[in-house]
Structure 1
Amino acid sequence: MKTAPLTPYQLEKEIACPNLMVKTRYGNVNLKSIIKGQRIIIYTNPSALIPKTDEDRHKLITALTKLKELNYHLIGFNIDSFEEHLYATNWLNSQLDDYLVFPIFYQPMNDLKRDLEQKLSMRIKIDNPIYFINQKGNTQYIVNGDIQKYKDMDNIVSLASKMVLTNQNFDKVLSLN
């Protein structure tokens, strides 16, 4: 079943991200303990990030570097087959410098989407959502990862940059007078 194309939209701010159990090489870990105090982007189809050309590889590395500069951390939740999960993980580990490698967790049931839908009391009508999580562990934006222009890393970096500016505190009390 194909969903209707959606443009990026902003949910109510400060929707707590579910505390899922994720399997890591260190054992099972609660998602909240991984994302606490950090800006996170959860990409639900990390296999789509694997570049097909050298130019695409350069764009991916540039985008990942910019996200690091913005103090964002990328996490992949692979919702497809386990073989695809292994392929994406192996590609990232072998093709990227260590500081750019990001964790990919296998979530075939898309528990994050299901749990957020329960909290929102509404259906998220996107097959491959991309979540932007703030430093408090709350979901601020969900964009449609099924549409090429929204899942493009340049667009993700641009939205992350806007979120950093939006969350700045410009109170006079904090100025350096």
Structure 2
Amino acid sequence: MTTEKQTSYLIVTDIAFPDVIVKTHHGNVHFKSLIQDKRIIVYTNPSELIPDSESKANELVNALRKLKKLNYHLIGFNRNSFEEHLKSLNWLNSYLSEDLVFPVFYQPQNNVKECLEKNLGEKITLKSPIYLLDKNGCTRMILDGSHSASENLETMLEQASKLVLADQSFGKNQSLRDS
């Protein structure tokens, strides 16, 4: 008998994602202005995604393409050292094609987690949370990102697909062709 792999995640609906200030090339910007009307995945330590082999690099590229097809945008918040942040940015910008490059911001204070915990009324005990946001900027799901990068990518794709399907409104008199 085989058992289904258990994914540790916390489903959260309608909890607004914090509007933290992020530093861009154009100056400081409110995060909400960057994510308006987009499905977003916030990966809290994208430097972990940097592959150490060609096969893992291909897995990353394939996963990013699948996320694009689901109309999800990946955004990273590096929490570790600034040197690690620069290393991940350099790799992403030099290896990935232009359509797959995603923004990565340096957030050592982890303001996002603190603000969400205040709104949730409970602690987020996950070491590396991955946040899935809907088009309204609300946190729909928080995943445990402390697994290997390939497991995280697989889980993100699986849960993003489920959220896209859950957002579909199939009315009683509406055919699939009409949607």
- Give CA deviations for 1:105-161 in whole Å, capped at 9, x if unaligned: 000011111100111111100121000000010001001111338852122111111
CA contact (8 A) 2:49 2:149 kept: no
SS in 2 for 1:19: coil
In the superposition, the TM-score normalised over structure 2's length comes to 0.90
Match of 1:19 in 2: 19
Distance 1:23 1:117, change over 3 A: same
Match of 1:8 in 2: 9
Does 2:162 align with 1:162?
yes
Pairwise CA RMSD of aligned residues?
A: 1.7
SS in 1 for 2:99: helix
Shift of 1:88: 0.4
Question: Residues of 2 paired with 1:25 and 1:83: CA distance?
Answer: 18
In the superposition, the TM-score normalised over structure 1's length comes to 0.91
Does 2:36 align with 1:36?
yes
CA contact (8 A) 2:48 2:149 kept: no
Q: Higher mean Cα deviation, 153-162 or 34-43?
A: 153-162
Letter paired with 1:9: L
Letter paired with 1:143: L
Question: Residues of 2 paired with 1:149 and 1:21: CA distance?
Answer: 27
Match of 2:108 in 1: 108
Question: Residues of 2 paired with 1:28 and 1:95: CA distance?
Answer: 26
Gaps of 5+ in 2: 1-6
Gaps of 5+ in 1: 1-5
Query: Aligned residues: percent identity?
Result: 47
Match of 2:3 in 1: none
Question: Residues of 1 paired with 2:150 and 2:87: CA distance?
Answer: 23
Shift of 1:83: 0.5
Question: Residues of 2 paired with 1:127 and 1:82: CA distance?
Answer: 19
Distance 1:84 1:149, change over 3 A: closer
